[in-house]
Amino acid sequence: MATYSNCCADAEDGGEGEVATKLSATKLYPCEECSKQFARLTTLKRHRRTHTGEKPYECEECSKQFSELSGLKRHVRTHTGEKPHRCEECSKQFIELSKLKKHMRCHTGEKPYLCEKCSKQFKLLDTLNAHMRTHTGEKPYMCNECSRQFSGLSSLKSHLRTHTGEKPYMCEKCGKQFSALDHLKLHMQTHTGEKPYKCEECNKKFSQLGNLKTHMRIHRGEKPFKCEECSKQFRQTGALKNHMKTHTGEKPFKCEECSKQFSERATLKTHVRTHTGEKPYKCKECSRQFSEPGSLKSHMRTHTGEKPYTCVLCSKRFRHLNTLKRHQQVHTKAECLRNTGF
């Protein structure tokens, strides 16, 4: 039922009284469920649907229903492909105005959402909510396949692709597909040649910060990943996982040509080239081709003169790890001869 307030101000009250009269004379429509009030009856009717669950607007394409006509109109654009909201900075187009407003923060740098715990700021409310779980430790999203839990829905969705094998993100340059958008972005740097991360020790450059961090362990001698079976340590978690198969004997990757089995997919791919004769890695200096990227890297040192392997006993440097190992045997034999009195 609509309510009225008929309080009238005296004429001599002046401007303030006139404003008060207009405000108090406004016709308000209260919601019978939650007592919220609305200036328009149509707004109240739309609001009531939040209580009744009524969705009178149906999409003719997919039969999805909506409580408001505006919601249906926005949804229809997913079928028509219409994107009426355009960014003036980069010309990117959006279906919804709210999406454009969020996107604009990429250009303005605006981060309106502040974490009260650590004062970190975020462009999106959803990102702030996900971040807050790093403080609370809450992981409300669980994988039905393996029961692993995640703090964010997007993390769960990305994880689920490890079970389904879905790779929705494709590189337009080479057609390679990825399960996560971040992985595609990192891959794109292999085409642009961009390597913004530089090692301060040896000036080697990397396209990814993670690769630089892993590389730095070579200089520090750090091997943080330890095998619980034999205590062998590794610089990368992937190397540890591959090593673990030497204990389990697991060889899940099989060659269709000769039925030989391998513990790693990468090793299988390299092996398959012995059948196909493929040598996709080409030296830019002399055009020599190789079946493995490691072989190309090793070969490139003949052009650059780089000798990354150093003997800790005599500081002699070598291009190849195998050469260093053979050299170290010289020290071992000499030590044996001294110990036996020769």
Question: In this predicted model, what pLDDT tens digit does every residue of 222-246 receive, in sequence order?
Answer: 899 999 989 999 988 888 888 888 8
Per the structure, the complete domain to which residue 330 belongs is given by 309-340
Residue 273: Cβ-neighbour burial (10 angstroms; 0-12, 13-18, 19+): middle
DSSP 147: -
* Number of domains comprising the chain: 1
Rounded CA gap, 6 and 219, in Å? Answer: 82
Rounded CA gap, 319 and 306, in Å? Answer: 6
Does residue 183 lie in a domain region? no
Average pLDDT of the chain, as a whole number: 84
Does residue 13 lie in a domain region? no
What percent of the chain has pLDDT above 70?
89
Residue 10 pLDDT more than 50?
A: no
What percent of the chain has pLDDT above 90?
13
pTM attached to this predicted model: 0.36
Do residues 141 and 156 make contact, with C-beta atoms less than 8 angstroms apart? Answer: yes
Nearby residues of 89 by Cβ (< 8 Å), 6 or more positions away = 104, 107
Does residue 320 lie in a domain region? yes
* pLDDT band at 334; cut points 50, 70, 90: low
Residue 14 pLDDT more than 80?
A: no
Does residue 286 lie in a domain region? no
pLDDT tens per residue across span 131-157: 888 899 898 989 998 888 988 888 888
Does residue 323 lie in a domain region? yes
Does residue 335 lie in a domain region? yes
Question: Mean pLDDT across the stretch 35-46?
Answer: 89
What are the backbone angles phi and psi of residue 275, rounded to the nearest 5°?
Answer: -85, -40
Residue 22 pLDDT more than 50?
A: no
* pLDDT band at 31; cut points 50, 70, 90: very high
Does residue 223 lie in a domain region? no
Do residues 91 and 106 make contact, with C-beta atoms less than 8 angstroms apart? Answer: no
Does residue 321 lie in a domain region? yes
Closest CA to 141 of 132, 133, 153, 131: 153
Rounded CA gap, 333 and 342, in Å? Answer: 11
pLDDT tens per residue across span 102-121: 888 888 888 999 999 899 99
